[in-house]
């Protein structure tokens, strides 16, 4: 079945720096890759997603890149702020996403120091 590996498990940056989180997946048929932010005591919040017909997508300070050949995708956060501190999860669709099932990575705890 699909397997998603996420690195690093923890990341500490200074406010204003950039943060990059990387994920690899195993199922070459996967075609949908969302990223979620989870704050303490809350459910995961969808922050950006990308589909396999696109190589990069941006939304203000957040961008996601996808390399289908290498089967990896990354989350880039620029100009980090303390409120970006949270756990971030990547996910990949199982197969071509006909059923909507997502496989999640293990999470990255991001700490932004003021």
- Footprint of other proteins (CB under 8 A): 4, 6, 32, 34, 36, 41-46, 49, 89, 91, 93, 96-102, 104-107
Q: How far is the CB of 108 from other proteins (least distance, A)?
A: 10
Q: How far is the CB of 16 from other proteins (least distance, A)?
A: 28
What gap in Å lies between CA 55 and CA 41, rounded to an integer?
33
Q: How far is the CB of 114 from other proteins (least distance, A)?
A: 26
**Which helix or strand (DSSP H or E) is residue 25 part of?**
strand 19-25
Residue number, 18 or 106, with CB nearest to other proteins = 106
Residue number, 42 or 114, with CB nearest to other proteins = 42
**What SS3 state is found at 44?**
coil
Residue number, 105 or 110, with CB nearest to other proteins = 105
Q: How far is the CB of 36 from other proteins (least distance, A)?
A: 8
**Tokens read off for 67:** 């390399």
What lies within 8 Å, CB to CB, of 110 at 6+ separation is 10, 11, 12, 13, 19, 21, 77, 80, 84, 85, 86, 87, 88
């Amino acid at each position: 079945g699909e397997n998603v590996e996420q690195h690093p498990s923890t990341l500490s940056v200074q406010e204003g720096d950039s943060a990059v989180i990387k994920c690899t997946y195993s199922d070459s048929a996967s075609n949908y890759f969302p990223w979620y932010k989870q704050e303490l005591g809350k459910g995961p919040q969808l922050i950006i997603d990308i589909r396999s017909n696109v190589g990069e997508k941006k939304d203000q300070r957040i961008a996601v890149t996808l390399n289908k050949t290498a089967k990896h995708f990354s989350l880039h956060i620029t100009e980090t702020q303390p409120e970006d501190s949270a756990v971030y999860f990547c996910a990949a669709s199982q197969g071509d996403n006909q059923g909507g099932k997502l496989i999640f990575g293990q999470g990255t705890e991001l700490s932004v120091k003021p």
